[in-house]
């Protein structure tokens, strides 16, 4: 009777064991990613002093060790984030990414001497409150038996329309807005990263489910949908990293 009672208590609390694993991985991910922004920015500062800034199309940061340390930290964080999506629903994992903002803000204030104003502190508090609220009310995950189920949901007309709008908007920003306003308005670069990020979340979630099912004995690597999601993840993430570096470089000045 103790086991059923414990399971019932877990359901009543809204946190399954998989959700707890996802929660721990998501928080760890935020710590690594939040720290990586600061280390990479320090590397970008050094690179900007010795070569063409990333904001102007330079890639001198690629030979800066400090930037690579930050990049490794980000990769570790993204791997943890990827694993979190395999255990917990996106509605739980995604908002916890906001914790990286708090970590970055605190480290920027302490290390980069960037002053954290009242509104910045208020924003950090709201991030914490929002994250806690979502964690406490996280829904139970729907059981998915195949990556094809996710693909069927992703190819519904409504989502395809949304994806088309996102891609079109990102392309407009990249080819028409960035050349004219990218150096003066960081929101242009942030817009590109945010738009593609919405597709990244969906694709990472699908790829995480595919790998989780594969490791549990139901091979999903034979499905072309798995590789399609992998291509989407690689394309979106590489583009986001490029424009995130540009944004970080612009914000140096």
Query: For 52-101, how does the pLDDT look when each residue is reduced to its tens digit (9 = 90+)?
Result: 565 555 667 777 888 889 889 988 988 888 788 778 777 778 777 778 88
Identify whether residues 19 and 124 lie together within a single domain.
yes
Identify whether residues 150 and 234 lie together within a single domain.
yes
Residue 7 has what pLDDT? 42
Instruction: Say whether pLDDT at 251 is over 70.
Output: no
Identify whether residues 85 and 210 lie together within a single domain.
no
Output the pTM of the full model.
Answer: 0.68
pLDDT in tens, 88-141: 777 778 777 778 888 888 888 888 887 878 888 888 888 778 777 877 776 666
Identify whether residues 163 and 46 lie together within a single domain.
no
Cβ neighbours for 141, distance < 8 A, ≥ 6 positions apart: 16, 18, 19, 88, 89
Which is higher by pLDDT, 251 or 159?
159
Identify whether residues 127 and 187 lie together within a single domain.
no
Residue range 223-232: mean pLDDT, rounded:
94
Final residue of a domain: which of 94, 114, 141?
Answer: 141
Residue 59 has what pLDDT? 65
What gap in Å lies between CA 127 and CA 139, rounded to an integer?
19
Distances (CA, A) of 207 to 60, 62, 85, 195, 199: 33, 28, 9, 19, 12
Instruction: Say whether pLDDT at 213 is over 80.
Output: yes
pLDDT in tens, 158-168: 999 999 999 99
Identify whether residues 131 and 30 lie together within a single domain.
yes
Domain hosting 78: range is 1-141
Number of domains in the chain: 2
- Residues of the chain with pLDDT > 90, as a percent, come to 23
Identify whether residues 70 and 37 lie together within a single domain.
yes
Identify whether residues 84 and 9 lie together within a single domain.
yes
Identify whether residues 83 and 204 lie together within a single domain.
no
Final residue of a domain: which of 117, 141, 165?
Answer: 141
Identify whether residues 13 and 122 lie together within a single domain.
yes
Dihedral sign of CA atoms 53, 55, 58, 59 in order = positive
pLDDT band at 28 (very low <50, low <70, confident <90, very high): very high
Identify whether residues 125 and 241 lie together within a single domain.
no
Instruction: Say whether pLDDT at 12 is over 50.
Output: no
3-state secondary structure the chain: CHHHHHHHHHHHCCCCHHHHHHHHHHHHHHHHHHHHHHHHHHHHHHHHHHCCCHHHCCCHHHHCHHHHHHHHHHHHHHHHHHHHHHHCCHHHHHHHCCHHHHHHHHHHHHCCCCCCCHHHHHHHHHHHHHHHHHHHCCCCCCCCCCHHHHHHHHCCHHHHHHHHHHHHHHHHHHHHHHHHHCCCCHHHHHHHHHHHHHHHHHHHHHHHHHHHHHHCCCCCCCCHHHHHHHHHHHHHHHHHHHHHHHHHHHCCC
Identify whether residues 108 and 137 lie together within a single domain.
yes
Instruction: Say whether pLDDT at 19 is over 90.
Output: no
Q: Which of 31, 28, 89 is nearest to 212 (CA)?
A: 89
What gap in Å lies between CA 26 and CA 97, rounded to an integer?
7
Rounded to 5°, angle at Cα 43 from 39 and 46: 145
């Amino acid at each position: 009777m103790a086991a059923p009672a414990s399971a019932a208590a877990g359901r009543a609390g809204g946190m399954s064991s998989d959700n707890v694993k996802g929660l721990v991985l998501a928080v760890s991910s935020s710590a690594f990613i939040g720290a990586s922004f600061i280390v990479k920015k320090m590397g970008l500062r050094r690179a900007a002093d010795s070569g063409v800034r990333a904001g102007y199309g330079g890639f001198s940061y690629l030979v800066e060790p400090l930037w690579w340390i930050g990049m490794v930290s980000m990769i570790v964080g993204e791997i943890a984030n990827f694993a979190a999506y395999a255990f917990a629903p996106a509605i739980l994992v995604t908002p916890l990414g906001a914790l990286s903002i708090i970590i970055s803000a605190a480290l920027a204030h302490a290390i980069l001497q960037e002053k954290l104003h009242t509104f910045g502190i208020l924003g950090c508090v709201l991030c914490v409150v929002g994250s806690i609220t979502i964690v406490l009310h996280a829904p139970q995950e729907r059981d998915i038996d195949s990556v094809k189920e996710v693909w069927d949901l992703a190819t519904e007309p409504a989502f395809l329309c949304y994806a088309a709008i996102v891609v079109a908007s990102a392309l407009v920003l990249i080819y028409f807005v960035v050349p004219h306003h990218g150096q003066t308005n960081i929101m242009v670069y942030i817009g590109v990263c945010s738009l593609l990020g919405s597709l990244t979340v969906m694709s990472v979630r699908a790829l995480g489910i595919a790998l989780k099912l594969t490791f549990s004995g139901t091979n999903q690597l034979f499905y072309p949908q798995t590789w399609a999601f992998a291509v989407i993840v690689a394309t979106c993430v590489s583009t986001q990293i490029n424009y995130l570096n540009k944004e970080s470089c612009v914000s140096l000045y």
